[in-house]
């Protein structure tokens, strides 16, 4: 397998090697934050949404933050492949003025999500009792919910500083809000690592929740007041759950995690904290799909797309680069399909990675 690398926790590895890579083995599907990094996974999403999980009748719990949440929403529509392709098309062709305001970027994202969902997509997601969608957004506590930008900046700076010493200190500044249509029946309704609450997900608040989950502070506006949730200002779910640090599932089934990297970083503020790692016991039943180093080296600029591409490339060049990455991403899907159908590649699955030691 030259393009796709598969990592698995100890229990997951034993199950895959014994029984093969089968969709009924999985109970949870995870989508992390990452913005344009997601384009490297589009081929996998097409295959997973359109073939691997097609015809599924058993519940699959999905959870995502930021663009990962948007992807999981696409899965829960009646035409998941069409939805994910619209998301890729509109996202990769986003065009702003030379010096876009936060409002311009926010309005553009909101228009994009309405186009992706169409007239019936929101309803299809919230009534879907097979693909159980969970979206993470973070509610600011205290003066972080102020409309004054300087107070928001102080709030973020303080939370980042406290986080250096303890990830649990984020509870002083934010409350993780888990939106779903399952209420207390959600498998994650009792999370206690960081201040957490649950809220309902319905047709009237879905787009607001999606926007909030992807609202990088001072890049997007965030959302003030979400129907059915506590009052306050909501920002990017990746602040607390950038790549997640949860025990996703306690049963015998597995967790599938298509990710743009072999490294997992708990929260947004942890990116520069090399000692902050996802707990290894949480990954025992996780299967992580990631592009190989050789595949990344074959991409334009020898790198996965990121938000800096908006500044580093003129519009036409950026679109060209991202479309090339999207095209190449099909190779990851081809290799996974081969493994599923023939078992070829099971011997090359590696122990799951956390982050660089």
Domains of the chain from N-terminus onward? 4-351 (3.40.1090)
Identify the pLDDT of residue 148: 87
Which burial class, exposed, middle or buried, applies to 318 when counting CB atoms under 10 A from its CB (0-12, 13-18, 19+)? buried
Per the document, the length of the chain is 357
Contact 174, 156 (CB under 8 A): no
- With residues binned 3-state (H G I as helix, E B as strand, rest as coil), the percentages for the chain, rounded to 5, are 45, 15, 35
Identify the pLDDT of residue 184: 76
Identify the pLDDT of residue 183: 75
Identify the pLDDT of residue 167: 96
User: Three-state DSSP class for 255?
Assistant: strand
The residue written with tokens 């999606």 in the block is 210
- Supply the Cα-derived Rg of the chain in whole angstroms: 19
Contact 62, 76 (CB under 8 A): yes
Quote the pTM value: 0.96
Contact 267, 240 (CB under 8 A): yes
CB-based burial, 221-249: b 16+ in 10 Å, e otherwise: bbbeebeebeebbbbbbbbbbbbbbbbbb
Identify the pLDDT of residue 145: 87
Which DSSP letter does residue 355 get?
S
Residue ranges for the chain with pLDDT beneath 50: 357
Contact 334, 4 (CB under 8 A): no
Whole-angstrom Cα distance, residue 244 to residue 293?
23
Identify the pLDDT of residue 351: 87
Identify the pLDDT of residue 357: 37
Helices (DSSP H) in 136-288: which residue ranges? 149-165, 206-213
Identify the pLDDT of residue 138: 98
Give the chain's end-to-end CA distance (angstroms, integer).
Answer: 25
Strand ranges in 195-258 using DSSP code E only, listed in sequence order: 196-200, 223-224, 233-236, 254-258
Whole-angstrom Cα distance, residue 6 to residue 345?
9
Identify the pLDDT of residue 286: 97
């Amino acid at each position: 397998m030259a393009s796709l690398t598969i990592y698995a926790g100890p229990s997951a590895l034993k199950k895959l090697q014994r029984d093969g890579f089968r969709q009924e083995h999985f109970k949870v599907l995870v989508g992390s934050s990452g913005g344009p990094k997601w384009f490297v996974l589009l081929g996998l999403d097409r295959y997973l949404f359109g073939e691997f999980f097609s015809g599924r009748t058993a519940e699959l719990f999905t959870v995502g933050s930021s663009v990962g949440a948007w992807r999981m929403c696409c899965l829960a529509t009646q035409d998941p492949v069409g939805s994910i392709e619209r998301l890729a098309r509109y996202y990769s062709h986003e065009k702003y003025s030379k010096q876009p305001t936060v409002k311009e970027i926010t309005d553009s994202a909101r228009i994009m999500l309405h186009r992706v969902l169409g007239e019936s997509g929101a309803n299809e997601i919230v009534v879907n009792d097979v693909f159980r969608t969970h979206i993470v957004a973070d509610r600011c506590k205290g003066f972080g919910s102020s409309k004054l930008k300087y107070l928001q900046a102080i709030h973020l700076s303080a939370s980042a500083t406290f986080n250096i010493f303890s990830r649990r200190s984020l509870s002083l500044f934010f409350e993780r809000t888990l939106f779903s249509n399952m209420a207390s029946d959600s498998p994650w309704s009792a999370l206690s690592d960081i201040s957490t609450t649950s809220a309902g997900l319905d047709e009237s608040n879905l787009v607001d929740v999606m926007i909030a989950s992807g609202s990088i502070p001072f890049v997007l506006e965030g959302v003030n007041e979400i129907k059915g949730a506590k009052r306050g200002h909501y920002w990017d779910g990746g602040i607390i759950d950038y790549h997640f640090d949860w025990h996703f599932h306690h049963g015998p089934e597995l967790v599938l995690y298509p990710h743009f990297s072999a490294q997992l970083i708990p929260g947004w503020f942890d990116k520069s904290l090399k000692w902050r790692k996802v707990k290894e016991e949480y990954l025992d039943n996780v299967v992580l799909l990631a592009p190989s180093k050789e595949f990344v080296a074959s991409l334009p600029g020898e790198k996965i797309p990121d938000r800096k591409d908006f500044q580093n490339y003129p519009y036409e060049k950026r679109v060209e680069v991202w479309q090339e990455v999207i095209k190449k991403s099909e190779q990851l899907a081809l290799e996974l399909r081969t493994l599923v159908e023939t078992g070829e590649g099971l011997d090359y699955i590696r122990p799951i990675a956390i982050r660089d030691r």
